[in-house]
Structure 1
Amino acid sequence: MKRYLEGPFGALFLKELRQVRHDRRLILSLIVPPLLQILLFGLALDSEVRNLRVGVVDYSRTSASRDVLSSLTENRSFILTGYYADASLVQKALDRNSLDVGVIIEKDFAKNRARGDQARVQVLLNAVNANVATIAQGYISSTIAVWNQQQSGSTLKQAPVAARVALLFNPGLISAWFMVTGTMAILIILNGSIVASTALIKEKESGTVEQLLMTPATSQEVVLAKIAPIFLLLMGMVAIVFVFAKVVFQIPVRGNGLLLTAAFALCALAGIGIGTMLATLSRSAQQTQLLTLFINPPLAVLSGSLTPIEAMPGWLQPITLLNPVRHFVTVARGILLKGAGLDVLWPNLLFLVVFT
């Protein structure tokens, strides 16, 4: 070992070590991105179900109904976001993804309790994420069961209050629907950014960009000519992946197919835009790869594709609004699973248009 260190190998090793030590950009790229990614993964990829947004319709408006609602909202997994005048408003809020849970107290709730009859609470669960819906259903059932045991009528054969749970958008609790729709968004954005940045940085390194700008074509025409083939390639990939997911996982299409196609196109253009930005900021293919590894993982983690955004820390949730993947995931799940239209999804589509 000593012979190697004192010979040519040792001299070359020390030379390379000094060179790496003086390359601050390389050192920062090896330390900062992993630390940030570990932080984001640890905070965002949290499987615990919490901060589920609850909307309430209390037709009874009695102390008995308020008592039941209080026991439900005391669970730290639920956050009471407001009261609604009608059940249809709760349904619309669930369609817009403004609520995760809707609780509806029947008008005769207090009367049934006073007569000794079983009172009913209707619970509407957003079951797009089957895992979250299953856990939330368990929380609600256990909370109602504990409340029943605490009542004076707990010795009766039937429970004083029963919860009727309706699973919306995914009644079969098929977890693949949630994962596949999220994965499609990640694939489009990531592949778009990688392919676009790779193609453009090659032109930049070879110097052909300057040659193209000297042709009669305008700079806009040059850029569009570069982007168009990549866009067509991505849309072909989207078609193949979507058909495969449809056949294998039986993913429904409950909304407008043309609106879904437009959303796919905007998502592909967003990915190409990210790749173009990375190629512009980079001087070499190596820098582009490092930037891609730094930017793409947070885009995937902070999109709500894998875990609910509501489960992330409060300070992190507003940051996800700047993520194009999040907006496409909302649009894709809204069209495919909820049958939502432009009246519900226009804010997300508008962001994708502005971003591209």
Structure 2
Amino acid sequence: MRQTLSNIYRLGIKELWSLWRDPIMLVLIVFTFTFAVYSSASSMPETMNNAAIAIVDEDHSPLSQRIVSAFYPPQFSPPEMITPAQMDAGMDAGIYTFVLHIPAEFQADVLANRGAEIQLNTDATRMSQAFAGSGYIQQIVLGEVATFLGSGSDAASRVRLEERARFNPTLDKSWFGSLSQIINQITMLSIILTGAALIREREHGTIEHLLVMPVTPAEIMISKIWSMGMVVLVASALSLNLVARGLLGVPVAGSLPLFFTGAALVLFATTSLGIFMATLSRNMPQFGMLVVLVLLPLQMLSGGTTPRENMPEFVQTVMLAAPTTHFVELGQAILFRGAGLDVVWPQLLASAAIGALFFAIALGRFRKMIANG
């Protein structure tokens, strides 16, 4: 047993030195856990941020002025007052995403209950802002009209809804974006690093050198798993503390040791998956194409991008076999909601079971690859 542990340790150190001498992989690690996390958090596509809006006010009434003054940063840029002749030209040139046209006699029609109308022109080529912004503008206009009419005397308005957002009181989507991106990058990088380590051994011919040494395939595989897994854990810990918490100011609600315990169990599965995929590939280009085919479903269908409840039931059932599904649930529960072991133990257990299964499959494939040369 002591000799086995010594072999695993020394082979792992060899993997770390090989990684240190690979500048491309080092750049990938740094980029993945710094710029990629920051850019994903600060440019969430569904977030309204300084959307360009112009207003054509032909009424010039107190009500129209209330509506104009209701648009302000950060959701919208300060509205630009334009004439009807400038509206179409500004939309065609892409200067404005929204143009709100308030017709003459609008306030008089509202007060006389004559069915007043406002026209909203939207540049639908800016899809994310167009769909979200149209709803925001409708709420703002209707809210200002209701306030202007003094609708507090209506029966429905006597019930006031007080909305409180838990876990993210300011509804800042950069909180969700940065932490979710770290969770996704842990999966991606662990698969790439372990697979690339094995491909590098085969391309350089060093795998044959290992075979003549008194080491077993299991020791070789475990050494790659612990070394590359440790690199990903350290990089993700630095990213979580320096980029997410430090640079972006994202609070972490739960226990980081518990989160990284879950991450270690998931890494056991994903690194084994990376080795299995490397045994199916003859070179790095083949491995890269295989990574794309496997990684995209793992990330898109695990619940990190869209809620699993929105997916077909068949997909939800199949994705229970993916370690990323349980990792997303575990990570969001701990980092966002401050969940403890009593809440996330099913995900920890599932991750360990999937990891053991993936390891057994990958080890069998690895032994077959070695036997066939």
TM-score by length of 1: 0.53
Does the CA contact (< 8 Å) of 1:255 and 1:338 recur in 2?
Answer: yes
Give, in whole Å, the separation in 1 of the partners of 2:276 and 2:313.
29
Report if the CA contact (8 A) 2:269-2:323 is conserved.
yes
Q: Structure 1 CA distance, aligned partners of 2:255 and 2:284? A: 40
* 1:316 and 2:300 correspond: no
In 2, the alpha carbon distance for the partners of 1:231 and 1:334 equals 22
CA distance in 1 between counterparts of 2:318 and 2:160 reads 40
Cα deviation digits, residues 118-138 of structure 1 (max 9, x gap): xxxxxxxxxxxxx9xx99x99
How far 1:296 sits from its partner (Å)?
0.9
Task: Give the aligned partner of residue 352 of structure 1.
Answer: 351
CA drift at 1:287: 2.1
User: Whole-Å Cα distance in 2 between the matches of residues 351 and 335 of structure 1?
Assistant: 16
Per the TM alignment, residue 155 of structure 1 is displaced from its structure 2 partner at its CA by 7.0
> 2:337 aligned with 1:338, yes or no?
yes
2:257 corresponds to which residue?
258
1:167 and 2:165 equivalent? yes
Separation (CA, whole Å) in 2 of partners of 1:353 and 1:210: 31
The answer on whether the counterparts of 2:322 and 2:354 sit within 8 Å (CA) in structure 1 is no
Given candidates 235, 238, 241, the residue that maps to 1:237 is: 235
Alignment of 1:162-311 (within 5 A): 162-243=160-241, 244-311=243-310
Q: Tell me how far apart the structure 2 counterparts of residues 158 and 307 of structure 1 sit (CA, whole Å).
A: 34
Structure 1 distance, partners of 2:221, 2:169, is 46
TM-score with structure 2 length normalisation?
A: 0.51
CA distance in 2, matches of 1:261, 1:156: 53
- C-alpha displacement at 1:161, in angstroms? 4.0
Q: Secondary structure at the match of 1:253?
A: coil
What does the per-residue CA deviation read over 1:285-308, in whole Å, with 9 as the maximum and x for residues that have no partner?
Answer: 332122112111111111222222
8 A contact 1:188–1:271 mirrored in 2:
no
- CA apart distance, 1:347: 1.4
Q: Which runs of 5+ in 2 are unaligned?
A: 1-44, 47-128, 144-151, 356-373
1:206 Cα deviation (Å)? Answer: 4.0
Q: Mark the CA change 1:155 to 1:278 in structure 2 (over 3 Å): closer, same or farther.
A: same
What CA distance in whole angstroms lies between the structure 1 residues aligned with 2:295 and 2:154? 58
Would the aligned equivalents of 1:238 and 1:264 in 2 still touch at CA under 8 Å? no
Structure 1 pair 270–177 and aligned structure 2 pair: CA distance change class (3 A): farther
Identity %: 33
Equivalences for residues 31-70 of structure 1 within 5 A: none
Give the distance between the partners of 1:176 and 1:282, measured in 2 at CA.
37
Report if aligned partners of 1:169, 1:337 keep a CA contact under 8 Å in 2.
Answer: yes
Deviations 1:61-94 (A, max 9, x none): xxxxxxxxxxxxxxxxxxxxxxxxxxxxxxxxxx
Q: Structure 2 CA distance, aligned partners of 1:245 and 1:225?
A: 30
Contact residue 321 and residue 354 of structure 2 kept, 8 A: no
Q: Following superposition of structure 1 onto structure 2, how do residues 116-127 of structure 1 map, counting pairs within 5 Å? A: none
Contact 1:253 1:337 in 2 (8 A): yes
The alignment's C-alpha RMSD in Å is 3.2
| 1:200-238 CA distance string (max 9 Å, x none) | 012234443243133122332222223332122212211
Paired letter, 2:231: L
Q: Give the superposition deviation at 1:338.
A: 0.6
Q: How far apart, CA to CA, are the structure 2 residues paired with 1:219 and 1:318?
A: 33
More moved, 292-301 vs 155-164: 155-164
Code of the aligned partner of 2:256: G
Larger strand proportion of the pair: 1
Distance in 2, matches of 1:280 and 1:355, equals 19
Structure 2 CA distance for aligned equivalents of residues 251 and 334 of structure 1: 15
How far does residue 279 in structure 1 lie from its aligned partner after superposition? 0.8
